Amino acid sequence: MVARVRTALSALVVLFALLLPADFDELTPSAFLRVPVEAPAAVVLLLVLPARRRRPVAAVGGALLGLLLVVKFLDIGFDAVLYRPFDLVLDWPLLTPAVDYVDVTAGRAAAIGAVALAAVAAVAVLVLVTRSVLRLGGAVGAHRGAAVRAVAVAAVCAMSLPVASHGTSELVGDHARAVRAGLHDRTAFAAESAVDAFGDVPGDRLLTSLRGKDVLVVFVESYGRGAVEDAGVAAALADGTRRLAGRGYASRSAFLTSPTAGGGSWLAQATLLSGLWVDNQQRYRTLVASDRLTLGGAFRRAGWRSVGVMPGITQTWPEGLFFDYDRIYAAADLGYRGPRFGYATMPDQYVLAELERAERGPRDEPVMAVVTLLSSHAPWTPLPEALPWDGVGDGSVFGGMRAGAVPPETIFGRDPVEVRADYGRSVEYSVDTIVSYLETHGDDDLVVVLLGDHQPAQVVTGEGAGRDVPVTVVSQDRSVLARTDPWGWTDGLAPAAGAPVRPMSAFRDQFLGTFG
């Protein structure tokens, strides 16, 4: 009796491994009400093998099925956050930011525990599935007649019923094709990056229409098309448009398609600044090892002081040399003395205040700054409160806010409605902060390019949200906006539903061509 129970449990483990979908949205009970055609095929193979070879073949097959189950779990996790399956060649470096996220939102002990648990779970899955297949292989050899009858029934069902599953073999094929494409992509991308229409343009011919103006390229974390469709964010954008119009500003907006979603901000920033489609870590490494002209490098060549304001950089960042900034302000360089708010090392208002103090205020030469704002980064709670700009100081004033009393929460396991509300409020805060900054520190010699880096995770957007992010140009100088007339962008901080959509990789050349 005990042996039969163990055999039945082994069969359930194998069926689970075969039937588990790799797509997060397909993870429903109905996904397991199917017939895996791989199961009868495997039984037939074990039946025709000599007895002495059956166990080694079952062991190898069990180990491969265990690895496949681990890959399925990775696919589900990546699909839930990044809208795509795990890439067996290119995605291993992305696990480090995931651990960093757990470290910030749940603590160092939780991060270490998560890594240890993941390693133990992977080994346990391999062992459990391998032992299950071995046990079933032994049962097939001991009960050949029953195995033949089971294969016959399963084969009929698999061929004639709509519940038949071919998902496992398709998954293996998809990953095999992805691995092959990843191995060939490096050479192709290196050749693509070597072709640059602006690479040899002299500085006196670059950005001639923006001479004397400070230019800020401001990335708002997780600011995607879904945010524009949120009622609260839409109201904040409409209010911001009215407030800025009262100060003499005009703005035009459209959409850019980001190379990533749910995370991977550095890929989006590299894409916009280089004019190349950087959608994986291999492309990123190839890019930063090249001499490709970036948007920051073009401004520097043309006579601007070029800086990167990166509050999310908390470790050594050798790749920063590629972006050709005169100076990089990482988190430690910004002098912040207040608490973290969720994942964000410091509030958006402090980042912009420090930019004004360190770069725009004391310098006569024009400044081009690429600025990353993190307050809208998951988990989107807690949020800072807005302060008078002359009261920001070194940020210690933020210490009395609820960030010191309420720890950040992970977005997973929480009520999605609550998570979406937190996300909307965080984007509203970022929009209000930027508008307030322009009201307080803007002038007719300031041009701002405001955009999102990627859509938030699917827990916010839902299925099929796409990868579009808003992009806006803001200026008091109407001649600057007049040059964008051919772009066809719509008026205001919020792009209209029918506003143009272009790949994010097209922006660099469009911008340099328009203003050069």
Distance CA 56, CA 158 (A): 27
pLDDT in tens, 415-456: 888 889 999 999 999 999 999 999 999 999 999 999 999 999
Last residue of a domain, one of 150, 184, 218: 184
- The tokens of 152 are what? 């016959």
* Residue of 167 and 50 predicted with greater confidence: 50
Using 50, 70 and 90 to split pLDDT, how confident is the model at 76? confident
Q: Are residues 209 and 180 in the same domain?
A: no
In a domain, 76, yes or no: yes
Q: Are residues 283 and 210 in the same domain?
A: yes
* Residue of 506 and 131 predicted with greater confidence: 506
Of these ranges, 29-33, 40-44, 470-474, the one predicted with the greatest mean pLDDT is 470-474
Q: Taking 50 as the threshold, does the pLDDT of residue 193 lie above it?
A: yes
Using 50, 70 and 90 to split pLDDT, how confident is the model at 266? very high
What confidence score (pLDDT) does residue 28 get? 79
Using 50, 70 and 90 to split pLDDT, how confident is the model at 44? low
Percent of the chain whose predicted confidence (pLDDT) is above 70 = 87
Distance CA 152, CA 139 (A): 17
Q: Taking 80 as the threshold, does the pLDDT of residue 36 lie above it?
A: no
In a domain, 195, yes or no: no
**Do the bridges between strand 501-503 and strand 327-330 make them parallel or antiparallel, or are there none, so unpaired?**
unpaired
Q: Are residues 250 and 178 in the same domain?
A: no
In a domain, 325, yes or no: yes
Mean pLDDT across 27-50: 69
- The tokens of 438 are what? 């322009």
pLDDT in tens, 313-340: 998 898 899 999 999 999 999 999 999 9
Q: Are residues 284 and 348 in the same domain?
A: yes
Mean pLDDT across 186-194: 85
Cβ–Cβ < 8 Å for 218, 412? no
Residue 114, domain extent: 2-184
Q: Are residues 237 and 351 in the same domain?
A: yes
Question: Domain with 298 in it: what CATH number?
Answer: 3.40.720.10
Of these ranges, 32-36, 121-125, 221-225, 381-385, the one predicted with the greatest mean pLDDT is 221-225
Q: Are residues 172 and 212 in the same domain?
A: no
For 423, other C-beta atoms within 10 Å of its C-beta total 29
Using 50, 70 and 90 to split pLDDT, how confident is the model at 144? low
In a domain, 458, yes or no: yes
Q: Are residues 242 and 157 in the same domain?
A: no
Distance CA 428, CA 394 (A): 24
Distance CA 397, CA 395 (A): 5
Using 50, 70 and 90 to split pLDDT, how confident is the model at 404? very low
At 222, give phi and psi (nearest 5°): 60, 20
> Average pLDDT, whole number, for the chain?
86
What confidence score (pLDDT) does residue 382 get? 86
Q: Are residues 177 and 309 in the same domain?
A: no
Last residue of a domain, one of 136, 151, 184: 184
List the one residue out of 513, 333, 459, 399 whose CA is nearest residue 24: 459
Last residue of a domain, one of 128, 149, 184: 184
What confidence score (pLDDT) does residue 166 get? 53
What sections of 83-166 are H helices per DSSP?
Answer: 95-106, 108-142, 144-160
What confidence score (pLDDT) does residue 156 get? 61
- The tokens of 278 are what? 């950087």
Cβ–Cβ < 8 Å for 305, 366? yes
Q: Are residues 22 and 112 in the same domain?
A: yes
What confidence score (pLDDT) does residue 37 get? 67
Q: Are residues 180 and 216 in the same domain?
A: no
Using 50, 70 and 90 to split pLDDT, how confident is the model at 94? confident
Q: Are residues 291 and 421 in the same domain?
A: yes
Q: Are residues 73 and 137 in the same domain?
A: yes
Mean pLDDT across 241-265: 96
What confidence score (pLDDT) does residue 88 get? 81
Q: How many domains does the chain have?
A: 2
Q: Coil, strand or helix: which one is 500?
A: coil
Q: Taking 90 as the threshold, does the pLDDT of residue 167 lie above it?
A: no
In a domain, 370, yes or no: yes
Using 50, 70 and 90 to split pLDDT, how confident is the model at 11? confident
